[in-house]
Structure 1
Amino acid sequence: MTHALTKGHGTANDFVLLLDATGEHEITPEDVALLCDRRRGIGGDGLIRVVRSADAGIPEALEALAAGAEWFMDYRNGDGSIAEMCGNGVRVFAHYLFERGLADIVPGASLPVGTRGGVKHVTRVPDATGGNEAWYRVDMGRWEFPRSIADGADSLVSTAGIDVARPAISVDMGNPHTVVALAGAAELAAADLTRTPEVDPVPGSGTNVEYIVIEADHDGDPATGRLAMRVHERGVGETQSCGTGACAAALAARFWAGHGGPTLWTVVLPGGTVEVEIGETGVALSGPAVLVGDIALAPGMLSTAP
């Protein structure tokens, strides 16, 4: 065994975690793509290098260290490209640190985690679905609508399986998102996300595309809402869940709902359920994190060794 690897997931958004506490590993895009390959490797939507901020060798990690984050989440998409953030990945990252004794998450306190999208603060919370899974709440920080919105949209998205291009809203969560509202469950199911959606105008660094259906919420509370979602992630394809995408979806849904729209959203994804809280200055994501098991990788599988 030359590398300490672990498989984990958050609402079936799955990751390969590589422990590299002191920054000894040099993982190439080809290595990441191989490890995330579901036939030739371990399989995952992305790879997370678990590294101390002081040893990461990444400019954003030094900023995270100055802000009090001992650990940095070096996240790569399944194709090996670098991504700024991953909401499900942050929860799995924090759960990994907690389970491995690398960090303590005291009840009522938060753990700062460094990412390329800034420092995220993670708190352990009860399972909102009433189950026994480990749940974490992530303060996702500030967000913005990066483009001017006219008539409820700033772009058009063409999707295989859907007859015409649909209007959408761009949301910057530290990584780029484009949210499309569909008419109902049948249309959501019809979207063919094996093919990359066409977004006009094309974002400079690509985008994740979320398709949502706002569902009836029968609890009688105008502050709560519910939506179903599917997502096509840049560099990956369709995934079972996307944490930053769930936040972007809730923010777009609230925008479309107008003044006084819900601020607490239940987001139902193919891989499970998460909750999104919209505050005055930021947004928070809560959901489960699971470690599946450790992997003893055969020597010579990767291009570099520690």
Structure 2
Amino acid sequence: MPPWRRSLDLRTSLSYVTTEIAFTKGHGTGNDFVLFADPEGAITLSPDDLAGLADRHFGIGGDGILRAVRSTRLPEGAAALAEDPAAEWFMDYHNADGSTAEMCGNGIRVFGAYLVAQGLLDLKVGSTVAIGTRGGVRHLSRRADGYEVDLGPFVIAGEAMVAANGLHVDRPGLAVGVGNPHIVVALADRAELDGLELGTAPVVTPPPPDGVNVEFVVPADPLVENGSGRITMRVHERGSAETLSCGTGAAAAALATRHWAGEGAPAAWIVDVPGGTVRVRVVTHPDGDHVLLSGPAELVFSGTVKLV
């Protein structure tokens, strides 16, 4: 029995219930999350509690947990406020196994939609808000067709060998940092991509000390059309296994493909994932190039969960 099964009760209101949480389920291109508001940081959940909420059989189910908390109410928020005093809200993100992660590109779009729906944030179409994360402050803009997040500067540095179920030989991968770590592997065709079994984590050599997200990509043919590049991607996310989409992974995959394509590669990219399509673009800022991610953010249903 999972350790969290003893403490999660979705069914009854019993006298020994100690915590009741109003939650919302949301997703960005199938990358799904359990969201709850804790503005004053009054709710303490253990990694087992968080894993229980994310469990698809005994809990609500999701690739991660997003807690909305004011930056002033948790230690990590101090760094966010030092970077940008306007970062009132902090996205406290946990993977499905209860572990913390620096950033989530799909998650932050859903997080913004949740804040708006809960009346915690007034964000009109065309407006931008600063959101604190463990990967630094990210600026989220509301668009008519969804949300776009500036993931900030990126780093492309280093290579590693990747072994995965379904690959006959290890493949080289490119390390890309977009606030969290990624290794991107190029494959020859869709048959190779479709043949992967990503329920088990790929083995990366040398192993990253804090784990890594691994993306496998196949370029479109032609690679560039109407000024935009296009790739198809699957991903294994650390702490969550394979997901239908990974926002920062889509950005990393586009950046890696752009790097491989060399001089003249486009700034705009379309990334197809099993859960839909997101867009990535590279823009120039005073502090260097930034990578931006845009796509939908859907809130699916709300409810109440009791932890005992």
* TM-score normalised according to structure 2 size: 0.89
Name the SS of the counterpart of 2:125 in structure 1: coil
Offset of residue 202 of structure 1: 0.7
> Is 1:216 matched with 2:233?
no
**Alpha-carbon contact 2:125-2:144 (below 8 Å) kept:** no
Offset of residue 52 of structure 1: 0.7
Mapped to 2, the partners of 1:180 and 1:143 lie a distance apart of 17
Aligned to 1:3: 21
Relative distance call for 1:85 and 1:218 in structure 2 (3 A) is closer
> Is 1:191 matched with 2:207?
no
Mapped to 1, the partners of 2:126 and 2:296 lie a distance apart of 17
> Is 1:241 matched with 2:281?
no
> Is 1:26 matched with 2:34?
no
Aligned to 1:174: 179
Offset of residue 13 of structure 1: 0.4
Aligned to 1:265: 269
Mapped to 1, the partners of 2:100 and 2:51 lie a distance apart of 12
Mapped to 1, the partners of 2:224 and 2:229 lie a distance apart of 9
Higher strand share: 2
Mapped to 2, the partners of 1:208 and 1:71 lie a distance apart of 26
**Alpha-carbon contact 1:143-1:174 (below 8 Å) kept:** yes
Relative distance call for 1:100 and 1:229 in structure 2 (3 A) is same
1:40-119 to 2 correspondence within 5 Å?
40-55=58-73, 57-59=74-76, 61-66=77-82, 67=84, 68-119=86-137
Q: Deviations over 1:66-87 (max 9, x none)?
A: 4111100000000011100000
Relative distance call for 1:219 and 1:44 in structure 2 (3 A) is same
Q: How many residues get paired? A: 284
Aligned to 1:12: 30
Q: Deviations over 1:199-255 (max 9, x none)?
A: 11111101000000010248743x410000000000110000000000000000000
Relative distance call for 1:220 and 1:175 in structure 2 (3 A) is closer
Mapped to 1, the partners of 2:67 and 2:133 lie a distance apart of 11
Mapped to 2, the partners of 1:216 and 1:113 lie a distance apart of 37
Name the SS of the counterpart of 1:298 in structure 2: strand
Select between 249-258 and 103-112 the one with higher mean Cα deviation.
103-112
Aligned to 1:158: 163
Mapped to 1, the partners of 2:307 and 2:105 lie a distance apart of 32
> Is 1:293 matched with 2:298?
no
Offset of residue 274 of structure 1: 0.2
Offset of residue 5 of structure 1: 1.1
* Unaligned ranges ≥5, structure 1: 128-134, 148-153, 301-306
Aligned to 1:141: 152
Relative distance call for 1:34 and 1:220 in structure 2 (3 A) is closer
RMSD of equivalent CA atoms? 1.3
Mapped to 1, the partners of 2:169 and 2:239 lie a distance apart of 24
Choose from 213, 221, 227 the match for 2:231: 227
Relative distance call for 1:158 and 1:249 in structure 2 (3 A) is same
Relative distance call for 1:218 and 1:255 in structure 2 (3 A) is closer
**Alpha-carbon contact 2:223-2:231 (below 8 Å) kept:** no
Mapped to 2, the partners of 1:220 and 1:253 lie a distance apart of 15
* Unaligned ranges ≥5, structure 2: 1-12, 14-19
**Alpha-carbon contact 1:69-1:114 (below 8 Å) kept:** yes
Mapped to 2, the partners of 1:119 and 1:183 lie a distance apart of 36
Relative distance call for 1:251 and 1:219 in structure 2 (3 A) is closer
Letter in 1 for 2:180: N
Identity among equivalent positions (%) equals: 51
**Alpha-carbon contact 2:160-2:174 (below 8 Å) kept:** yes
Relative distance call for 1:219 and 1:245 in structure 2 (3 A) is closer
Q: Deviations over 1:135-155 (max 9, x none)?
A: 1010110110242xxxxxx11
